[in-house]
Chains A and B, each alone.
Chain A
Amino acid sequence: MTDREARAALPGIVLITGVAGVGMVAVLATSLGLVPLYGDAELGLDGWRKAAPDLAAGAAETLRIAVPASLLAAVIGLLLATLMLVGGRGAVLVRTGCLAVLAVPHLVGATSVGLLLGDGGVAARALAPVVGDTGWPALVGGSWPVATVLELAWKESAFVALVVLAAVAPGHARRMQVAAGLGAGRWHRFARVLVPTATPALAVSSMVTLVYAVGSYEVAWLLGRASPEPLPVLAYRLFGSIELTDRPAAAAAAATAAALAMLLAAPALAALPRLRTGLSPDRGLS
């Protein structure tokens, strides 16, 4: 990075450090007992000790939700972007649909998915003649976070699709023509041209989805089971606990979620420049 580039990036770095950095310091300070709701601040690990028994199970549940949801969103998002790249009236419809899905808040989406997939929900009622009154699987609040994953994948796939579309659309028609001229069939054009071209955008948007899903509280709270709790749900429950001394434990759970998100994002961020240079459409087709 040149000095000029560094100077250009400075406002963004200051802003991010200012907002996120101060927030994280406050969370860490709370977890260490330095920001009590009452009484004297006292440095200690009581909050971490209190949260410790639930942190591993919470992290596992968080990953059980975030990883499949991000993978699913990537696959569906790529397919939606492919449909939009085809053009025509269908593409307009898909694009409008994606924009509509983006506009729906996750809270509303989770409520809708709950009403659709829950026990006694629309799907269970519609399929009652087939599966019977008690044959509907526990998609909401069951042993596997099916509804949570589906809601996140559904909402985030629209985001992935639009990011991929924006990245791939310029020059897409020309690349397809060249590939077709070289004898590539439909499958080869998709697998050998579109997918590599879309990969950097797909990776970035999937990483954003993954990090968002790790920190997402409301969807898992509404559609997930009572235990084990994903880290954000655990943090929120402890934050609202009637025990004033649970605040440090809540902050410890929140800090663990943040660390998990950073841990997941770091390799992806490290891989991105390689992806961008290695799979650039200009390099591939120039």
Chain B
Amino acid sequence: MTSRARSIRATSRPALPALAVTLALVASACSGPSPDESPRAADRPWDEVVAEAQGQTVDLWMFGGDEAGNAYVDDVLTPAAAELGVTLRRVPVADTKDAMNRVLSENAAGSTDGAVDLVWVNGDNFATGQEAGAWWCDWADDLPNLQYVADDDPLVAEDFGVPVDGCEAPWHKAQFTFAYDAARVTDPPTTVAGLLDWAEQNPGRFTYPAPPDFTGSVFVRQALYALSGGADEVPTSYSDEAFDDLTPALLDRLSELAPSLWRGGTTYPRDQQALDQLFADGQVDFTMTYGPATLTDLVADGTFPSTTTVLSVEDGTVGNASFLGIPASSPDQAGAAVVANLALSPEQQAAKADPAVWGQFTVLDVGLLDAADAARFANLPDSPVVPPYEELSRNAQPELASSWVNPLDEAWRREVLGSP
């Protein structure tokens, strides 16, 4: 053995035990919190929460790609929070998952001085946080403005099949929406299954974002309903039996459809923004969104053609509600609760529902409001593009439980994305 080889052996010998020790130390130091460890808010008068919130700065992490939403928070919600003694700062993120990653990492580290005080969240991200015990709970049930939300509203009681359990406060409702360019589509389909047929008859003029993108993922669930004979045929909660029973038809149909999609289905837009870009450029004739409020602005500023029209589908589309969640690691939980309560007030909900401001559908039951507050909603102008919520949510279907999302997304990636 050469001296060089000996020296390498000599130095490498202690390296393995050292690595093992390091890994063991990492392991012992890095066990995460248990899933059922969500901290719960103490039951106390609302006045105490408001008093504690004075002077707190609340960092609201939210998707930053919606200019109208940013403007609403900056120009309407933030000044109103300041009047209540709370400084509200908007932290834009490209994807809510970025905020969740921060929250989960802080939670895993046992931090109580985290950077995130409030998150615009729903669905799978909420479920993930619940699973990890990363949300502060029991606070949302104490918000005074919750009195204006209907007790029996299923969209507000559960979030993608996960009980809200006082761990998040409702913010607004959303309805999955297809839009098309009426100047180019003269024979719009009237059902989701019909939309797939239309795509087949018009090669290259339709596509959808690749799951796990949020919008693409919703589209696949919407197609699952359509191809399974309706939402009633798909059990809301996930089971392997239901998955094995229902998904082959979906995956076969989407694989069969792929060659007729934009670029022959060899690739898909990465996200809704990419699909919107294709629609704006006239590359495809349809776009889709879970936030139809954005359509008003996109048409008004000329990004989308003035002939952009919301597709009315007889079988309805899925709907959900968005929420505001407070992480367990937030150091300003009282301030965050005050902001969430403010956001739920009839004034803020009405301002946000104005298409000229943001156009988001309210979570309040207008029937529970006094006459003056109800008038705020009655007097709202209509959007020139987006129909009223009552019309858009006709035959609305519930979202599947979040436990469906990942298996469906993965199955799509394996069987449809790789199929052409």
Which A residues have a C-beta under 8 Å from some C-beta of B? 25-26, 28-29, 32, 34-41, 43, 53, 118-120, 134, 138, 141-143, 221, 225-227, 237, 239-244
Q: Any chain A CB within 8 A of the CB of B309?
A: no
A29 CA to B28 CA in the complex, in Å?
Answer: 11
A251 CA to B19 CA in the complex, in Å?
Answer: 17
A14 CA to B186 CA in the complex, in Å?
Answer: 69
Q: Any chain A CB within 8 A of the CB of B393?
A: no
A106 CA to B189 CA in the complex, in Å?
Answer: 42
With contacts A143-B267, A242-B124 taken as known, whether A120 is within 8 angstroms of B281 at the C-beta atoms is yes
With contacts A25-B19, A226-B270, A227-B210 taken as known, whether A34 is within 8 angstroms of B417 at the C-beta atoms is no
Inter-chain contact A242/B125, CB cutoff 8 Å: yes
* B266 CB → nearest A CB, Å: 6
Nearest chain A residue, comparing its CB with the CB of B216: A226
Q: Any chain A CB within 8 A of the CB of B104?
A: yes
SS class, residues of chain A in contact with chain B: loop
Q: Any chain A CB within 8 A of the CB of B101?
A: yes
1/0 contact trace for B9-48 toward A, CB 8 Å? 0000000000100110011101111110000000000000
1/0 contact trace for B106-129 toward A, CB 8 Å? 011000000000000000110110
SS class, residues of chain B in contact with chain A: helix
* A245 CB → nearest B CB, Å: 10
Kindly identify which residue among B31, B267, B278, B418 contacts A41, using a CB–CB cutoff of 8 Å. Answer: B31
Nearest chain A residue, comparing its CB with the CB of B210: A226
Count of A-B contacts with CB under 8 A?
111
Inter-chain contact B26/A29, CB cutoff 8 Å: yes
* B258 CB → nearest A CB, Å: 12
Residues of B within 8 A of A237 (CB): 212
Inter-chain contact B131/A141, CB cutoff 8 Å: no
Residues of A within 8 A of B280 (CB): 120
A100 CA to B28 CA in the complex, in Å?
Answer: 48
Nearest chain A residue, comparing its CB with the CB of B18: A25
List the 6 shortest-distance A-B pairs measured between CB atoms, nearest first.
Answer: A120-B281, A38-B32, A226-B210, A34-B27, A242-B124, A225-B267
Residues of B within 8 A of A134 (CB): 204
Inter-chain contact B95/A240, CB cutoff 8 Å: yes
With contacts A226-B210, A244-B104 taken as known, whether A138 is within 8 angstroms of B263 at the C-beta atoms is yes
Residues of B within 8 A of A34 (CB): 23, 26-27, 30
Residues of A within 8 A of B402 (CB): 242
Inter-chain contact A142/B267, CB cutoff 8 Å: yes
With contacts A241-B212, A242-B128 taken as known, whether A35 is within 8 angstroms of B30 at the C-beta atoms is yes
Nearest chain A residue, comparing its CB with the CB of B217: A242
Inter-chain contact A43/B27, CB cutoff 8 Å: yes
Q: Any chain A CB within 8 A of the CB of B57?
A: no
A129 CA to B345 CA in the complex, in Å?
Answer: 55
Inter-chain contact B34/A35, CB cutoff 8 Å: no
* A149 CB → nearest B CB, Å: 16
With contacts A143-B267, A241-B406 taken as known, whether A39 is within 8 angstroms of B31 at the C-beta atoms is yes
